[in-house]
Amino acid sequence: MLRVRCLRGGSRGAEAAHLIGAMLGRAVTGFVQRAFQSTSSSAAAIQSQELVEDTVTEPVTQECPVCAYNEWDPLEEVIVGRAENARVPPFTVEVKANTYEKYWPFYQKYGGQTFPEDHLKKAVAEIEEMCNILRFEGVTVRRPEPIDWSFQYKTPDFTSTAMPRDILLVVGNEIIEAPMAWRSRFFEYRAYRPLIKEYFRKGAKWTTAPKPTMADDLYDQDYPIRTVEDRHKLAAQGKFVTTEHEPCFDAADFIRAGRDIFVQRNPNPMHIDATFNIIGPGLVLSNPDRPCRQVDMFMKAGWNVVKPPTPLIPDDHPLWMSSKWLSMNVLMLDEKRVMVDANETSIQKMFESLGIKPIKVSIRHANSLGGGFHCWTTDVRRRGTLQSYFH
């Protein structure tokens, strides 16, 4: 049985956890159902069909190239995103609600244009070095297609630009293509389709979530956001910039632990892996600045909950779409090796104290574009089996 658990607030759109449960072919547990009492009838209709859905937890054949059940089994193959041709997202309401006020003028001025050329060049070089080190560590590295994002994409409801990074979620032998919540990420799937089709032809399952129109009704156009404190107050009231007009969710709002998947709806920049990161069986990182409200369930299960040290990134380094806590946005190569920012010496020492070897790569310029190691990658294959870590 595969369970989906919700961390305070759920996913991006209350239907999303139910939708993921349906797509994965397993009923969502009462834990999630209680968290989403406001779920719409459309999600209920999807959930009612779960009994006839194919499961993803059946034994995976040897021929299938896709197989990953958690975040720490030995990593054998990974997709690494691209920073080439990245564009600044237009300053729409969902971007405003997930970025810091001090960067709003940057979006207002440069939205739809390229990121600063020198910064982007350094980010591309960092990602290339990351790929080289992954290969040196024995991991097969795949890349999405390089696409020219310089022109605007247009639908009947909006126009935008894009940058491929983390729209895919792998659970078992299934690749799930997330619909995303930002308009600027609507078309990212195009960069990944050649890879997805290759994996599909070789035996992987391929699920594409219903694509939202991303019309104005999907967003609270009057979302009263001024400060980070505002976000937390509104989130506590169950109010977010996304409405329940259509299901939408980001792949990076989910994190896997065998038979359990954890999901959050995040009022801060930006995804679950800089707030809560499961790095091994019985071992989880919890952000001390914005702690997971359900962390007690891990303690009761006997897990070691570790609070990472304060990040060392300087205040004057631009983080247009992220927070300093990308220091904990790490990629586990296995239970004893972790890819970590070469500049974050404090968290390196923390991992060493846990018996985990840091694999150091500088990624600060890539951080500025909206992600750390976990954000820039999609696990394709991790050598391991499906297990339950909660009883």
Residues with catalytic roles:
250, 271, 375
> How many CA atoms are closer than 13 Å to the CA of 214, on its beta-carbon side?
22
Nearest to 111, CA basis, from 67, 152, 145: 152
Sheet containing strand 304-306, strands side by side: 276-280, 283-286, 304-306
State how far the Cα of 357 lies from the Cα of 133, in Å rounded to an integer: 14
**Do residues 119 and 318 make contact, with C-beta atoms less than 8 angstroms apart?**
yes
Sheet containing strand 205-208, strands side by side: 168-171, 174-177, 205-208
Cα-flanking dihedrals φ and ψ of residue 227, to 5°?
-135, 170
Nearest to 82, CA basis, from 130, 140, 145: 145
**Do residues 166 and 378 make contact, with C-beta atoms less than 8 angstroms apart?**
yes
- Helices of type H across 36-151: 41-47, 93-96, 104-110, 117-136
360's tokens: 């150091």
Residues 6+ apart with CB under 8 A from 264: 6, 7, 8, 9, 10, 11, 253, 272, 275, 276, 292
Residues 6+ apart with CB under 8 A from 342: 360, 361, 362, 363
Nearest to 80, CA basis, from 138, 124, 137: 124
56's tokens: 């993803």
**Termini Cα distance of the chain:** 12
